[in-house]
Amino acid sequence: MPRLLPRSILHAQSENPLLAKLLPTCRSLASARNELRWLREHAIDHHATERSPASKGDNNNWRARLKELVARRARGEPLQYVLGTEWFGDLELVCRPGVLIPRPDTATAIGYLVQRMLERDPHKWRKTLRVLDLCTGSGCVSLFFQHEWIRFMPVIPEIRTIGVDLSPKAISLAQLNRDRLLRTKHEDVERHKASQASHFYDTAFIESLSNTSFLHADVLEESQLWQKLEAEHSLAADILLANPPYISRWGFQHSTERSVRRHEPKMALVPPLPFSIPGKDCPKRADSDDLGDLFYEPLVKTALKSDAKIVWFEVADIEQAARVAHLITSMASARPEQLELWREEPMPGIEGLEGKDEIYQGFIVKGRGNGRSVVWWRDG
Amino acid sequence: MRAVLRPRTLLHYVRNVIPNRQFSTSPALLKSLPGPLPPILDTDITENFLKGSGPGGQKINKTNSAVQILHHPTGLIVKCQETRSRSQNRKIARRRLAERIEELQLGSEARTAKKAAKEAKKKSSATKKRRRKYRQLDAAKRLDDNEGEEDADDVNEPNEVEEVKQGKLDGVENKDKAKESSPGSLV
């Protein structure tokens, strides 16, 4: 982390004392300015909803509230917990301490997944589409996948989505996010009764949101998970999505941002210790016992059991992506051509028009940035 | 020749022009509405999410939602970091880029240029009004001072000046009233 220059601290102080408070957390003037603007908008908006907008002394009250918000952010609390929401693609989702904040990389990957399904065979999915989202957290992947499907796919079948998480906090937040979207979409339908195009989209989204449920279960205990899913008549799936905890204990100590380590739930970031290696808390460096890969084996088993046609897993980096791809080829005897490793920006850029894909350890790699996900086209 | 031609043009007018005329109770649009912004092809641009290097995913929680677009045919670069939503920033950046391209194509006829011209006109008219107001206030004050020295026993006129001052200070609504009793007419 580069040191803050005294010059930039003075500059911030002279511009706005609150800006200087944010600077150590935000690390740059531009980012501090943006966050201060968003915090101010939030303070004013909330103030307006709490009281009648014309009440006296309004001005000072939102300023006091802004000061509190800035103090919280300056202590390193994630901006999304301070503001209470985060944008995930076009969806605004509620964030609460105890549940992982949705990351933009995940939204990019899900958007690209739908785009690729559109390019491959958009008319294939005519029957009920069953989506299984394991380690759902805030519900972001479940909710965004159906949103993108309805927005881009020419055929909209009945979509049944089920999200699974071990944390009760995550389950209740995911349900809250689903209900909140349902409410806003109902309001949109009321408001835009005349406009046909958005009405069609909104009603389809309302229907698929009503077919979305969240289940409390442990993904690592696959037989119990299958029983629970069977009881809900939802073990069979067409699409399996998972963003499990994937950071190694070494990576958590050395390459994970401090604000993430201190404020976000560790159970959503680092897989638990397998029982075979007791008492190993923080190894000196990444070794074969500590790769953060614990979740992928039960995930592949569930993918096989549910007979999913398209499988997407998020991973930490290109090395883990290759390890997961090797795991899939060995466990499920999948052909390497069925697998793709995606980077943070998987979509082809201008240079991608040349049509040459990078190959890493025998697997196709798409896009630019760090390795971010593994996609298994079981139907391909 | 004329006698032959005229009925034809009249007929043409009755048959073609009148039926095509739009009858409407609202006043006609004097200014033509601007056409749609030029479309931006996905193949012409490179989008950059400006997030720097280093680890990502669950390890980092960045609040940077900035989007930068490079338009290859023109070499224009547009950046947007207004909102917390990257997809909203993308939309804003695309619209801004389309406006910039239109500016290049149409010059002073582009909507941004027209808008800027309108704003400038508004501003200059506002400054003109402000200047006029202070000139009048100054004049009224000078008059007030002069009368204090010369015409102390006159009851009527200072009141009238007082009214001018009040009207002007209250703002724009009383502008016309103040104009009528401008200092010039008092002397």
DSSP-derived pairing of the beta strands A159-165 and A129-134: parallel
In the DSSP assignment, the letter for residue A302 is H
**Higher-scoring residue by pLDDT: A55, A95:** A95
Report angle CA A26, A76, A179 to the nearest 5 degrees. 100
Amino acid (1-letter code) at residue B102: E
Residues in chain A: 380
pLDDT value for B181: 42
Task: Quickly state the pLDDT bin for A100 (edges 50, 70, 90).
Answer: very high
- Residues B104 and B121 both lie in one domain: no
Task: Tell me what the mean pLDDT of segment A334-353 comes to.
Answer: 83
Q: Quick check: is A4 in a domain? A: no
Contact assignment for A87 to B88 by CB distance below 8 Å: yes
B48 reaches A (C-beta below 8 A)? no
B92 with B135, same domain: the answer is no
In chain B, what residues touch A370 (CB-CB under 8 Å)?
55-57
Q: Could you tell me the pLDDT band of residue A52, with boundaries at 50, 70 and 90? A: low
Angle at A132 between CA A127 and CA A137, to 5 degrees: 145
Residue B155, pLDDT score? 44
Residues A27, A146 within the same domain:
no
Q: What is the pLDDT of residue B36?
A: 78
A83: chain B residues, CB-CB within 8 Å: 84
pTM: 0.79
Q: How many domains does chain B have?
A: 2
Shortest distance, CA B69 to any CA of chain A (angstroms): 12
The number of C-alpha atoms within 13 Å of A186 and in the hemisphere containing its C-beta is 9
Distance CA A148, CA A131 (A): 13
**Domain boundaries, position A335:** 98-377
- What is the mean pLDDT of the segment spanning B172-178? 42
pLDDT tens for residues A239-257?
999 999 999 999 999 999 9
Work out how many CB contacts closer than 8 A connect A with B. 89
Query: B60 lies in which domain range?
Result: 45-109
Gap between the Cα atoms of A136 and A149, Å rounded = 18
- The amino acid at residue B59 is K
A residues 236-265 lying closer than 8 A (beta carbon) to B: 243, 245-247, 251, 255-257, 259-260, 264
Give yes or no: residues A71 and A132 share one domain.
Answer: no
Same domain, B90 and B61: yes
Q: Using a CB-CB distance cutoff of 8 angstroms, which residues of chain B are in contact with residue A344?
A: 56
If one counts every other C-beta atom within 10 angstroms of the C-beta of residue A346, the result is 25
Last residue of a domain, one of A76, A107, A128: A76
Residue A173 lies in a domain: yes
Do B105 and B121 belong together in one domain? no
What's the sign of the alpha-carbon dihedral B19, B25, B30, B31?
negative
Give chain B's mean pLDDT.
72
- Fill in the amino acid letter for A12: A
What pLDDT is recorded for position A122?
Answer: 84
Sign of the Cα pseudo-torsion (B49, B54, B58, B59, in order): negative
Average the pLDDT over A12-21 and give the result.
95
CB B68 within 8 A of CB B53: no
On whether residue B9 sits in a domain, the answer given is no
The Cα–Cα gap between A367 and A341 comes to 9
**How many Å apart are CA A120 and CA A186, to the nearest integer?**
33
Residue to mutate among B59, B71, B80, B90, with most A CBs inside 10 A, is: B59
**What ipTM was predicted for this assembly?**
0.88
A32: its two tokens: 């501090």
Sheet holding B76-80, edge to edge: B45-48, B67-71, B76-80
Question: With 60 as the cut, is the pLDDT of residue A55 above it?
Answer: no
Judge if A143 and A47 occupy the same domain: no
Secondary structure (3-state) at A343: strand
| pLDDT bucket at A116, cuts 50 / 70 / 90 | very high
Q: How far apart are CA A306 and CA A303, in angstroms?
A: 5
Do B60 and A260 make contact, defined as CB atoms within 8 angstroms?
Answer: yes
Report pLDDT for B2.
Answer: 45
Q: What is the pLDDT of residue B163?
A: 42
A269: nearest CA in chain B?
B58
Are A338 and A330 a contacting pair, CB within 8 Å?
Answer: no
- Give B37-74 pLDDT, tens digit per residue: 778 888 888 888 776 677 889 999 988 889 999 999 89
Which of A:328-367 have CB within 8 Å of B?
344-345, 349-350, 353
Give the Cα separation of A178 and A91 in Å (integer): 11
Name the band, by pLDDT with cuts 50, 70 and 90, for residue B156.
very low
Quick one: pLDDT at residue B93? 94
| Number of residues that this document lists for chain B | 187
Distance spanning both ends of chain A, measured CA to CA:
44
> Quick check: B84 and A38 CB within 8 A?
yes
Are residues A53 and A192 located together in one domain of the fold?
Answer: no
> Which residues on neighbouring strands pair with residue A342, listed in sequence order?
A366, A373
Q: Are residues A130 and A223 in the same domain?
A: yes
Closest of A74, A98, A76, A94 to residue A85, by C-alpha? A94
Chain B residues in contact with A76 by the CB 8 A cut-off are: none
Residue B13 lies in a domain: no
Question: What's the pLDDT at B20?
Answer: 59
Q: Do A53 and A179 fall into the same domain?
A: no
- Final residue belonging to a domain, choices A46, A76, A106: A76
CA distance B73 to B66: 22
Give the residue with greater pLDDT, B117 vs B186.
Answer: B117
A213 plus A154 within the same structural domain: yes
The answer on A273 and A193 residing in a single domain is yes
A7 falls within a domain = no
Give the closest residue to A156 by CA, choosing from A107, A195, A187, A117.
Answer: A117
The CATH code of the domain that includes A329 is 3.40.50.150
The DSSP symbol for B14 reads I
Number of H helices, E strands in chain A: 14, 11
Own/partner pairs, A1-7, CB within 8 angstroms, 24+ separation: A1/A27, A2/A27
Q: Per-residue pLDDT averaged across A197-210, rounded?
A: 90
CA A176 to chain centre: 16
Picking from A119, A125, A24, the residue whose alpha carbon sits closest to that of residue A74 is: A24
> What is the enclosing helix (H) or strand (E) of A366?
strand A363-366
Q: Are residues B125 and B98 in the same domain?
A: no
In a domain, B98, yes or no: yes
**Nearest CB to A31: which of B60, B64, B85?**
B64
